[in-house]
Structure 1
Amino acid sequence: MSETVLIALVVAMAVISFILSPRVKTTDGFFKGFDEFGQAPGLWTLTLSQVTTWIFARSLMNAAILGFYYGIAGTLAYAAYYLSFLTGGYIVDRVRFEHGYDSIQACLFDRYGRVGTLSYNILVGVRLLSEVFANLLVIGIIFGVAGSTGYTLSIIALAVLTLVYSMMGGLRASLRTDVFQTLLLIASLIVLVGVMSVESTFDVGAILSSSPDFSAPGWILLAVALLQVWSYPMHDPVMMDRGFLADRVTTRKSFQYACAISVVAIILFGLLGIFAGLNKESGEAMVVALTRLLGEPAMIIFNVALIVSAVSTLDSTFSSSSKLVVDQMGFMDKTVRNGRIVMALFLLGGLFFLFLGQKDLFAAVAVSGTASMFLTPVIFFNIMWKRETALWAYVLSFFTALAGGALYMMEAGGHLSLITPLLGLEHKYAKLLMICLCVLGVAMTSFALGSLQRVKAGNA
């Protein structure tokens, strides 16, 4: 019965999304989100679009799972990543309105040529693919175990439905449907938190004291998030794309409002995981515990929230993919038709990675977040302090960050064990923190030396 209701709600949401999606024929509408009058999106359209495209289905699951295993510290750690709206807004403001560039790629090309844009575009492309497979994975889990008929059919059905209406309107369709989807997501969260708060076992004091050990993994992950929060937004094309649409005041406010709404939403969803963790029975998984505690009707709403966030992220991912390949990289002529072709290709790529068997939802966040840290010195030296740096420093920083991301992936997956014998660190988040500190140390030092080299060369 619950699955029938869920399917009916998904169909209704899909129909509404199709109705809201315009048939865009102009490149400005498809790649920039402009309406039929050539106007950029307004403040609340931009704000709500930012919120729902960054609160992925994976994000909601991560917040709840981290709360389930690590208490309030785990939830706060994941919520800290949403401070990226503040750092991302600052980056956009400096790059676009202070330095005068119309994209992150243009800024990097001006300083580092093709090496700058190629390295950035590779990272962005991988991130977009990871968003496709990670959100589809959550959809599959809702409807069945991996490999089952329900799992496979639900993934394909949601993927195709989202792709079709994304192809109709590109970024314009994404912006319009995002508003509806965000309001639905917020309503779902309010209902879920309301149901949880009236339960007799709900205890605010227990939730606030659920992470008493400050050396525990949740607090370590919070430190990781605070290190990555500078570079993380810059490598996210969905966020960056929305920073180059509206005027300065609208753009600045949209990032600030999106930060406040997103942090609150993630914490509220994380509370569900903490609640389940505090009241679980022996051997219970999070979803099983929540179902027992809140009941089937509430879990339908829980799953609706996941599906809404997955669909909203997918359509934004498709629109950013088409803009990346067609508009920013220039691999194809800038036409709506080519944008649609790229969307389909990215869906196929995401499905390929999904069916390879990747199951760790946080791994994509940690790996891409670590790999993006080569951009941290770019932000401080080039964008903030307006200092030029030698190309070798940028290249060294890039490959160090990639190596750090790969090392974490190998360590977390059990394929390699170097850090424990060397440093005695056992937990994967402790290893991740050490990797991030090393990457950041090498990157910032190389940029400092590269900057001094440029100054001496200029004075010679």
Structure 2
Amino acid sequence: MSMWLIFLVSGLALVSIFLSRKATQEGGFFRGESADGRAPTLLALTFSQVTTWIFARSLLNAAILGFYYGIWGALAYAAYYLSFLTGGRIIDHLRFEQGYDSVQGFLSDRFGAWGGRCYNFVVGIRLVSEVFANLLVIGILFGAAGSQSYTLAVIGLAAVTLLYSVLGGLYASLRTDVMQMWVFLVVLSILLGIVISGGHFTTELLTFKPFDISQPGPILLLVALLQVWSYPMHDPVMMDRGFLADRETTKRSFLHAGWISSVSILAFGSLGVIAGANGLEGEDMNQVLSRLLGEFPMFLFSASLVISAMSTLDSTLTSSAKMIVLDMRLMSVSLRNGRMVMAIFMLLGLLLVFVGNKDIFSAVAVSGTASMYLVPVIFFSLWGNRRDIPVWSYIGSFFLAISGSLLYFTESSSYTMLLGEVHKYTKLLWICIAVMVGGCALFMIGGASQKQLQPLANH
């Protein structure tokens, strides 16, 4: 199967390079504009949103959660894709109602230099973890961690994706996303057709894990429903695509991307559910699926992961370049500097693959928990349009969320046992509730203190 995957990657790479016309203008490289300055169409924007969010680690996580926790695990991961609904609302307020051209611009206006610094810190971690997690999935497909095939697969995909990404930037990413999305939909449709026609997809199998609110699947579903309020705002790939087209096109792209992504993730997660229901003692998910489906469907399963990894990696790199060069202004605006940033982020991701944590869901949970410092920002400062929140409330919410994400990491990795012997997802739920309530309390107290100071200032 590895040989067929190599052919697939090579074919996708050649087509992607062909579609990636070399950028000669900064508007195309950083903002996705065509040569004549046109914004992307609804189809291009929707498909780009979907394929960059249905990344390899998401497909694999959805299947793994389905394998262990039944349909409730798959639903929990699909719930994260409600982020398209909250993300669309965030963009509409941020860009069209309040007139900002970036998240950093909004946060800097409301909270000064600390607004941008805290956000860029969280987003930087998010971008590097995206590169790491998707390369990690590719390595796993080709061999055991540390093996020659594993190493060559990771380095090869990194090199290929970096090559066509630096050629055309965001405009090239949008063009290749559309192609990769069509291929993904065809591959997923064939795979599901084989599963359904083979009699593996039944309602009885999907309910082999009964609903129990105390079990990890339903608990993770509650975690997702808490994190979706802030998750999209800390995802630069989603946010960047909210600043490319007109208001109506942008709204519709977020709406369509939401339901397409949710259906795709549930479909893929159901494969894990089927494997979990049919697993024998000692079998892992891939072994069960290979026994049930055979070699060709497993090739399609792996192909879906490869396609999604490539589409996510190029978008992550373009968002990295935009953040460092345009949003943070750490370098002068030039194509050369944008390409240099892409190479640096790819190297950082590669470094993590070979020395970092191998739990790919940890990256999602830690990132999602850190993003929750933005919950009160969205509720009070963005949607509530309150300008009386002091900087200390913002900084306090940030450090509370970072502390929560670090606590979850140490607890889930068994470095600490401060929260007892309960399941790590139960710990995650407690941490998320504490971060969300604590952050909102800081904003409420901060806003109230400012109102009390105003009469004194008038005297």
Fold-level match, TM-score > 0.5?
Answer: yes
Asked whether 1:154 is paired with 2:153, we answer yes
- Alpha-carbon separation, structure 2, partners of 1:313 and 1:195: 26
- Alpha-carbon separation, structure 1, partners of 2:106 and 2:199: 55
User: 1:429 aligns to what?
Assistant: 425
Helix, strand or coil at the partner of 2:214:
coil
Please report how far the alpha carbon of residue 306 of structure 1 lies from its aligned counterpart in structure 2 after TM superposition: 0.2
Helix, strand or coil at the partner of 2:443:
helix
- Alpha-carbon separation, structure 2, partners of 1:208 and 1:42: 40
Please report how far the alpha carbon of residue 456 of structure 1 lies from its aligned counterpart in structure 2 after TM superposition: 2.3
Please report how far the alpha carbon of residue 101 of structure 1 lies from its aligned counterpart in structure 2 after TM superposition: 0.4
**8 Å CA contact 2:64, 2:269 repeated in 1:** yes
- Alpha-carbon separation, structure 2, partners of 1:359 and 1:159: 18
Asked whether 1:163 is paired with 2:157, we answer no
* 1:445 maps to amino acid: A
- Alpha-carbon separation, structure 1, partners of 2:329 and 2:358: 33
User: 2:91 aligns to what?
Assistant: 92
User: 1:416 aligns to what?
Assistant: 416
Gaps of 5+ in 1: none
Please report how far the alpha carbon of residue 208 of structure 1 lies from its aligned counterpart in structure 2 after TM superposition: 3.4
Asked whether 1:441 is paired with 2:440, we answer no
Please report how far the alpha carbon of residue 186 of structure 1 lies from its aligned counterpart in structure 2 after TM superposition: 1.2
Quote the sequence identity (%).
55
User: 2:75 aligns to what?
Assistant: 76
Asked whether 1:381 is paired with 2:377, we answer no
User: 1:128 aligns to what?
Assistant: 127
User: 2:244 aligns to what?
Assistant: 245
Please report how far the alpha carbon of residue 65 of structure 1 lies from its aligned counterpart in structure 2 after TM superposition: 0.2
* 1:173 maps to amino acid: A
User: 1:204 aligns to what?
Assistant: 203
Alpha-carbon distance change, 215 to 434 in structure 1, aligned in 2, over 3 angstroms: same
- Alpha-carbon separation, structure 2, partners of 1:125 and 1:75: 28
Please report how far the alpha carbon of residue 209 of structure 1 lies from its aligned counterpart in structure 2 after TM superposition: 4.8
**8 Å CA contact 2:208, 2:277 repeated in 1:** no
User: 1:395 aligns to what?
Assistant: 395
Q: Deviation per CA, 1:133-181: give whole Å up to 9, x if none.
A: 1000000001000000000000000000000100000000100000010
User: 1:289 aligns to what?
Assistant: 288
User: 2:104 aligns to what?
Assistant: 105
**8 Å CA contact 1:70, 1:211 repeated in 2:** no
Please report how far the alpha carbon of residue 291 of structure 1 lies from its aligned counterpart in structure 2 after TM superposition: 0.8
Match runs of 1:170-209 below 5 Å: 170-209=169-208
* 1:232 maps to amino acid: Y
Please report how far the alpha carbon of residue 283 of structure 1 lies from its aligned counterpart in structure 2 after TM superposition: 0.8
Alpha-carbon distance change, 303 to 201 in structure 1, aligned in 2, over 3 angstroms: closer
- TM-score when scaled to structure 1? 0.98
- Alpha-carbon separation, structure 2, partners of 1:183 and 1:358: 33
**8 Å CA contact 1:318, 1:343 repeated in 2:** yes
User: 1:45 aligns to what?
Assistant: 44
- Alpha-carbon separation, structure 1, partners of 2:403 and 2:106: 24
* 2:274 maps to amino acid: F
User: 2:2 aligns to what?
Assistant: 3
Please report how far the alpha carbon of residue 210 of structure 1 lies from its aligned counterpart in structure 2 after TM superposition: 2.8
- TM-score when scaled to structure 2? 0.98
- Alpha-carbon separation, structure 2, partners of 1:449 and 1:387: 13
User: 1:62 aligns to what?
Assistant: 61
**8 Å CA contact 2:229, 2:375 repeated in 1:** yes
Helix, strand or coil at the partner of 2:355:
coil
Match runs of 1:295-444 below 5 Å: 295-388=294-387, 389-420=389-420, 426-444=422-440
Q: Deviation per CA, 1:271-312: give whole Å up to 9, x if none.
A: 000000000111100011111111000111111100000000
* 2:419 maps to amino acid: I
Helix, strand or coil at the partner of 2:233:
helix
Greater displacement, 316-325 / 185-194 = 185-194
- Alpha-carbon separation, structure 2, partners of 1:159 and 1:265: 25
- Alpha-carbon separation, structure 1, partners of 2:249 and 2:229: 22
Q: Deviation per CA, 1:394-427: give whole Å up to 9, x if none.
A: 111000000000000000001001001xxxx510
Helix, strand or coil at the partner of 1:34:
coil
**8 Å CA contact 1:410, 1:416 repeated in 2:** yes
Gaps of 5+ in 2: none
- Alpha-carbon separation, structure 2, partners of 1:20 and 1:102: 28
Helix, strand or coil at the partner of 2:225:
helix
Q: Deviation per CA, 1:82-111: give whole Å up to 9, x if none.
A: 000000000000000111100000000001
Helix, strand or coil at the partner of 1:359:
coil
* 1:426 maps to amino acid: V
Helix, strand or coil at the partner of 1:153:
helix
Helix, strand or coil at the partner of 1:355:
helix
Task: Let me know the Cα RMSD of the aligned residues.
Answer: 0.9
* 1:314 maps to amino acid: L
- Alpha-carbon separation, structure 1, partners of 2:201 and 2:239: 39
Please report how far the alpha carbon of residue 77 of structure 1 lies from its aligned counterpart in structure 2 after TM superposition: 0.3
Greater displacement, 348-357 / 296-305 = 348-357
- Alpha-carbon separation, structure 1, partners of 2:352 and 2:249: 37
User: 2:12 aligns to what?
Assistant: 13
Work out the number of aligned pairs and report it. Answer: 455
- Alpha-carbon separation, structure 1, partners of 2:49 and 2:144: 31
Match runs of 1:227-242 below 5 Å: 227-242=226-241
- Alpha-carbon separation, structure 2, partners of 1:345 and 1:73: 38
- Alpha-carbon separation, structure 2, partners of 1:323 and 1:211: 46
**8 Å CA contact 2:372, 2:435 repeated in 1:** yes
User: 1:258 aligns to what?
Assistant: 257
- Alpha-carbon separation, structure 1, partners of 2:18 and 2:119: 36
Please report how far the alpha carbon of residue 189 of structure 1 lies from its aligned counterpart in structure 2 after TM superposition: 1.2
* 2:113 maps to amino acid: R
Please report how far the alpha carbon of residue 214 of structure 1 lies from its aligned counterpart in structure 2 after TM superposition: 2.8
* 1:166 maps to amino acid: S
- Alpha-carbon separation, structure 1, partners of 2:455 and 2:266: 52
Please report how far the alpha carbon of residue 206 of structure 1 lies from its aligned counterpart in structure 2 after TM superposition: 2.7
- Alpha-carbon separation, structure 1, partners of 2:368 and 2:250: 24
Q: Deviation per CA, 1:365-402: give whole Å up to 9, x if none.
A: 10010011000000000011111201111111000000
**8 Å CA contact 2:205, 2:273 repeated in 1:** no
